Amino acid sequence: MAQKPRGVHPEDIKACICKKYGTLSAFAVMHGRNPNTVSNAIRQPGYSRPLEKLIAEEMGMKPYDIWPDWYHSDGTPAPYRNGRTSTALPCRTHRQNGVAA
């Protein structure tokens, strides 16, 4: 079975941005963003699609090449909440009769 490409490591993304701008904060300020959003966009899928695109442009790549798990091969964003399942156990006695307490 073929393995899915892994993409670029978050630390390598940060290093590329820091080589050009000095810090992630400088990159964020240069583009009118909050400094925390850049770090979050690098690590959290779907946090800021426009910022992901901007980071990819700065690296000279496409978002799919950097984050293949977050995008389909045609470049459209993949749904990032599909695989989530609830870990909470259902409460059988809660609203048994359908009326709120």
Name residue, tokens 């946090």.
Answer: 47
* Distance in angstroms (rounded) separating the CA atoms of residues 18 and 39: 12
3-state class (DSSP) for residue 9? coil
Check: pTM over 0.75? Answer yes or no.
Answer: no
Amino acid at 10: P
Q: Per-residue pLDDT tens for 18-40?
A: 999 999 999 999 999 998 999 99
User: Which residues of the chain are modeled with pLDDT < 50?
Assistant: 1
